[in-house]
Amino acid sequence: MGLTAAEKILKEHFREGTFKPGNEIGIKIDQTLTQDATGTMVYLQFEAMDIPRVRTELSVSYVDHNTLQTDYRNADDHRFLQSCAKKYGIYFSRPGNGICHQVHLERFGAPGKTLLGSDSHTPTGGGLGALAIGAGGLDIAVAMAGGLFYLTYPEIIEVRLTGKLHSMCSAKDIILTLLKKETVKGGVGKIYEYTGPGVSSLSVPQRATITNMGAELGATTSLFPSDSMTREFLALQKRASVWKPLQADDDAVYAKTITLDLDTVVPMAACPHMPDNVVEVSSLAGKKVDQVAIGSCTNSSITDLGIAADILQGKTIAESVSLAVSPGTKQVLDSAVKAGIYHTFVSSGARILESACGPCIGMGFAPGSKGISLRTFNRNFKGRSGTADASVYLVSPETAAASALTGTITDPRSLDSITTGNYTDIISINDNMIIPPVSPEESRSTEILRGPNIKPCPLGSRMPETIRGTVLIKVDDNITTDHIMPAGAKILPLRSNIPEISKHVFEAVDPHFHERAAAVEQGIIVGGENYGQGSSREHAALAPMYLGVKAVITKSFARIHKANLVNFGILPLVFKNPEDYNSIQESDELVIENISETLLNGNTLSVTNTRSGAVFTVSYDGDGRLIEILLAGGLLNYTKEQLTR
């Protein structure tokens, strides 16, 4: 039986476990990436492992999230990260050089490699034929130390593309179409592998838009084959030498096949407040728009900016609209200047922002009260833009630009014919904002520079035999890590300081969460389906751990968050009978006894609700290694115990 492209990479990197869907496997990681918002914790954890230099083929530390520098804290973080990179043999991409996923695609990604990143959109690299996976920071620290990355062997889903996109329809519309079909939890435990004759018409940046937003499906990752288009992209980047072909075997077997005819794809928009709340743009036509943002790791390539500029060419944006453009990388920004795209934007009335995440993570350009914002980004969770009552729609660059001109949501196909340019060949390569690793001698004498806001990573305590926990909060389905641990300009500077950031846990959902958690010794969180979707931020587990949360009981979990809970010694439990969710109230006391014995001998624990007297069962599906980690109080403690043994 032949192999799928994903299986070929998995097989080559497989080191431990049983090589079959559903089982835990350990794979070797070739490359890692971190970004500043998750990176400070990663390097604090790496430092605690006491390893002189990274053991990967290549590791890159990017600064792209917290670049506002409203006071000393972000700047101190940047200096800390730069000194860690020098100390440990890591490439350092300086602030201003661009968004991690886009820079990595341009300058470092390679077909057939495994890439692990402390950011959920790491699968962007799948556009180049790399098996690129997002994970919690601690998993990245372990991979940098040469440890394996453990994941559940995913189901491989084939997305067979036929036909060709019509003009004014783009890669964003493809992934939004898929999100409508598969939903934000449809991809949990799956890899989406793209095949079929439609693939060859999509450029690498277009493929990367699709694999980037595969994160919103909850997927482990998404993957395109490596073909002549990939080789062309790498040759333009003067990196043709890393190209190698990657394709599924003709007789490869997939768990399921979804066929998507690109001829039928039309402009789509994800409506507030979920990326799968997708409708056709034409059905929203005429709705007033207050602001438009073009950029983010999803749609900030030169092709994305080029088509938007073609639409804006010679025109002025509507008086009622504010338009911001953030080029994904310095390379894109420079190429946009060369190609005249920058001039077109500025002439049309656009505001040009830094090459960084910016508005995507609530770092500036927040909409006004009840504002309607159209963004080419990947997430529209409530409040993420920085304005709690704003409505964010996710659209393609074509729809964004067309709507900026008219001031209302506009189907770009309704515009008079647009002359489009080909901007892919205009490329400006200059890596002077990437600092390469130094020699081991220089590393040794490098001092790590810290600021007063950088506090050590707290350690968990051993799992108690009995949890007697208060239900601190009960939430619905699809709770995101943005709900659990919000980001934005006020909170992101606290990412290096867990005691401080923990005061903001669940802030937007319930401002008293922190006080309630502080008042009890052990806390429990109760959630619905797909709890913890979205970002990879381990702070959504680390801060609750710091507040004494011992278990989270839900109907189901998102992959990365569940792994983060285990990494920080919090039990991720699932109701055996989802109906039991209804019987729990906030402030109930839940008792779980004989934890280690039960977990080591099976996977079902019984829980007693002392208010109602009700007894119900929950399960944990992890294997022996994960149970050991939980009992040790998290991966850091477990690793220490292993080393002492």
Which residues contact ligand SF4 by CB under 6 A?
65, 99, 119, 121, 296-297, 357, 360-361, 378
Crossing angle of helices 559-567 and 539-546, rounded to 10°: 40
54 binds, among ligand MIC, ligand SF4, none (CB under 5 to 8 A by kind): none
537 binds, among ligand MIC, ligand SF4, none (CB under 5 to 8 A by kind): ligand MIC
Dist. CA 444–CA 565, nearest whole Å: 34
What token pair was written down for 63?
């600064």
478 near ligand MIC, rule: CB under 6 A: no
Q: Is the peptide bond before 166 cis (omega within 30 degrees of 0)?
A: no
Of 43 and 62, which has the nearer Cβ to ligand SF4?
62
DSSP line for 189-224 = TEEEEEESTTGGGS-HHHHHHHHHHGGGGTBSEEE-
Minimum distance from CB of 623 to ligand SF4 (Å)? 31
The binder of ligand MIC chosen from 30, 77, 119, 398 (CB under 6 A): 119
184 binds, among ligand SF4, ligand MIC, none (CB under 5 to 8 A by kind): none
Which region among 114-122, 140-148, 156-164, 222-230 touches ligand MIC (by CB under 6 A)? 114-122
Minimum distance from CB of 326 to ligand SF4 (Å)? 8
φ, ψ dihedrals at 278, nearest 5°: -100, 135
The contact mask relative to ligand MIC for 609-628 (x = CB under 6 A, - = no) is --------------------
Smallest CA-to-CA distance from 581 within 549, 550, 554, 607 is with 554
Tell me if 61 sits within 8 A of 34, measured CB to CB.
yes
What is the layout of strands, in order, in the sheet containing 322-325?
278-280, 268-270, 391-394, 372-375, 291-294, 322-325, 351-352
What token pair was written down for 324?
């911001």
566 near ligand MIC, rule: CB under 6 A: no
Of 99 and 471, which has the nearer Cβ to ligand MIC?
99
Dist. CA 290–CA 281, nearest whole Å: 17
Minimum distance from CB of 280 to ligand MIC (Å)? 26
The binder of ligand MIC chosen from 97, 120, 329, 348 (CB under 6 A): 120
296 binds, among ligand MIC, ligand SF4, none (CB under 5 to 8 A by kind): ligand SF4
Smallest CA-to-CA distance from 525 within 547, 508, 504, 503 is with 547
99 binds, among ligand SF4, ligand MIC, none (CB under 5 to 8 A by kind): ligand SF4
Tell me if 38 sits within 8 A of 536, measured CB to CB.
yes
124 binds, among ligand SF4, ligand MIC, none (CB under 5 to 8 A by kind): none
Which region among 12-20, 166-174, 277-285, 529-537 touches ligand MIC (by CB under 6 A)? 529-537
| Start-to-end Cα distance in the chain | 42
Minimum distance from CB of 253 to ligand SF4 (Å)? 33
Minimum distance from CB of 134 to ligand MIC (Å)? 6
Q: What are the strands, taking DSSP E only, across 331-479?
A: 351-352, 372-375, 391-394, 434-435, 467-474
Of 196 and 488, which has the nearer Cβ to ligand SF4?
488
The binder of ligand MIC chosen from 332, 487, 498, 517 (CB under 6 A): 487
Q: Which residue has the tokens 């005061």?
A: 503
What token pair was written down for 626?
């994960």
The binder of ligand MIC chosen from 13, 94, 107, 537 (CB under 6 A): 537
361 near ligand MIC, rule: CB under 6 A: yes
Of 13 and 539, which has the nearer Cβ to ligand MIC?
539
DSSP annotation of 496 = T
Crossing angle of helices 137-144 and 559-567, rounded to 10°: 70
Minimum distance from CB of 602 to ligand MIC (Å)? 33
* Binders of ligand MIC in range 126-165 (CB under 6 A): 134
615 beta partners:
608
3-state secondary structure of 101: helix
536 binds, among ligand SF4, ligand MIC, none (CB under 5 to 8 A by kind): ligand MIC
Which region among 15-23, 118-126, 463-471, 500-508 touches ligand MIC (by CB under 6 A)? 118-126
Minimum distance from CB of 362 to ligand MIC (Å)? 9
Of 38 and 206, which has the nearer Cβ to ligand MIC?
38
Dist. CA 192–CA 132, nearest whole Å: 12
74 binds, among ligand MIC, ligand SF4, none (CB under 5 to 8 A by kind): none
121 near ligand MIC, rule: CB under 6 A: yes
Of 117 and 186, which has the nearer Cβ to ligand MIC?
117
382 near ligand MIC, rule: CB under 6 A: no
What token pair was written down for 530?
């797909």
Of 268 and 363, which has the nearer Cβ to ligand MIC?
363
Other beta carbons within 10 angstroms of residue 515's beta carbon come to: 10
Smallest CA-to-CA distance from 143 within 63, 42, 219, 29 is with 29
Of 501 and 590, which has the nearer Cβ to ligand MIC?
501
CA dihedral 538, 297, 190, 16 (to 10 degrees): -60
Dist. CA 139–CA 627, nearest whole Å: 16
38 binds, among ligand MIC, ligand SF4, none (CB under 5 to 8 A by kind): ligand MIC
Of 514 and 537, which has the nearer Cβ to ligand MIC?
537
Of 152 and 376, which has the nearer Cβ to ligand SF4?
376
Of 170 and 481, which has the nearer Cβ to ligand MIC?
481
* Binders of ligand MIC in range 30-59 (CB under 6 A): 37-38
Of 187 and 469, which has the nearer Cβ to ligand SF4?
187
Q: Which residue has the tokens 């075997």?
A: 249
Minimum distance from CB of 305 to ligand MIC (Å)? 20
Q: Which residue has the tokens 């702070």?
A: 539
309 near ligand MIC, rule: CB under 6 A: no
Smallest CA-to-CA distance from 218 within 560, 490, 542, 538 is with 560
Other beta carbons within 10 angstroms of residue 75's beta carbon come to: 16
Tell me if 138 sits within 8 A of 639, measured CB to CB.
no
Of 112 and 386, which has the nearer Cβ to ligand SF4?
386
Dist. CA 27–CA 16, nearest whole Å: 7
3-state secondary structure of 617: strand
Tell me, by CB under 6 A, how many residues bind ligand MIC. 13
Smallest CA-to-CA distance from 111 within 22, 230, 235 is with 230
Chain-centroid distance of CA 425 in Å reads: 29
* Binders of ligand MIC in range 178-207 (CB under 6 A): none
Dist. CA 116–CA 133, nearest whole Å: 5
Binding interface with ligand MIC (CB under 6 A): 37-38, 65, 119-121, 134, 361, 487, 534-537
